[in-house]
Amino acid sequence: MHSDSYIYKFMILITLISSLVLSFAYTSLKTIQDLNVVVDKQKNVLKSLGINSSSMNSEEIQQKYLDTVKEIVVDINGDIVETINHIDLILKEDGKTGESIYKANDTRYLPIYKSSDSYVIPISGKGLWSTLFGFFALELDMNTVKGITFFKHKETPGLGGEVDKEWFQDNFKGKKIFNDLGVLVGIDILKGITVDDINEDKRIHSVDGISGATVTSVGLKNFLLSDLNLYKNFIENVKKQ
């Protein structure tokens, strides 16, 4: 028979070993998880630019991203800030609006992804059940939509979750965010009607909505316009070049 002290010592030793093993496993898995998050975002930035990376592995996606995309940061006036980069920005979320707030040294900055023929901005906001996070790409005229993607949300599959589907995202390509008067109008997401039912001059600013997902559609329409307004100064600066 072992003494009580021996049993206690054995239990403590087992507990310590288990804790070390779990700690090591958590640290190792977290590193992998963090990398997967980065790669997934890079994959979606590329997708918004029309680059299909579905057949690429993680290393190929990262290399394609490095070869294609330049990360830049601008202030709220739309001026490029050379002293701050994306890794310096801390992402916070407004609990009421779902708006993504990027800050460094308590100052708000705006991250942008630039390719040879497009600019990509991160977008986010409230849908029905969750905050949707995605990317919105504009061609160099800063008016024509290149693409849109979403990489994180918890909307209902088959309803609001259709924002993930190509049929919905493809509707945005070629649309315009400014009207003929130069007013930033964003993209209207229709409900109850289709693009074919509206005036021709409005079609270029509208896409068909998702049946049964009114709240998600309205939320997307609103936060997309809100985020575009955040970047409006930068958009105008580029248009003047």
- 99 and 188: one domain? yes
- 87 and 13: one domain? no
- 19 and 115: one domain? no
- 56 and 76: one domain? no
- Do the beta carbons of residue 230 and residue 223 sit within 8 Å? no
- 111 and 63: one domain? no
Q: What is the pLDDT of residues 124-166, one digit of tens each?
A: 888 778 788 899 999 999 999 999 998 877 766 766 677 888 8
Q: Please give the mean pLDDT across all residues of the chain.
A: 84
- 88 and 117: one domain? yes
Can you read off the two tokens belonging to residue 53? 């990376």
Residue 149's domain spans which residues? 70-240
- 48 and 99: one domain? no
Choosing from 34, 52, 68, the residue where a domain stops is 68
- 106 and 224: one domain? yes
Burial class (CB in 10 A: 0-12, 13-18, 19+), 240: exposed
- 181 and 194: one domain? yes
Residue where the block lists tokens 């009114």:
214
- 208 and 110: one domain? yes
Choosing from 36, 68, 100, the residue where a domain stops is 68
3-state secondary structure the chain: CCCHHHHHHHHHHHHHHHHHHHHHHHHHHHHHHHHHHHHHHHHHHHHHCCCCCCCCCHHHHHHHHHHHCEEEEECCCCCECCCCCHHHCEEEECCCCCCEEEEECCEECEEEEECCCEEEEEEEEECCCCEEEEEEEEECCCCEEEEEEEEECCCCCCCHHHHHCHHHHHCCCCCECECCCCCECCCEECCCCCHHHCCHHHHCCEECCCCCCHHHHHHHHHHHHHHHHHCHHHHHHHHHC
The pLDDT of residue 135: 95
- The structural domain count of the chain equals 2
Q: What is the pLDDT of residues 77-114, one digit of tens each?
A: 999 999 988 988 877 666 555 566 788 877 889 999 99
| Distance set, CA 128 to CA 54, 68, 210, 215, 217 (Å) | 28, 34, 13, 6, 9
Choosing from 50, 68, 86, the residue where a domain stops is 68
- In this predicted structure, the answer to whether residue 225 has a pLDDT above a threshold of 80 is yes
The pLDDT of residue 138: 97
- 95 and 34: one domain? no
- 57 and 134: one domain? no
The pLDDT of residue 30: 63
Find the distance separating the first CA and the last CA of the chain, reported in whole Å.
Answer: 86
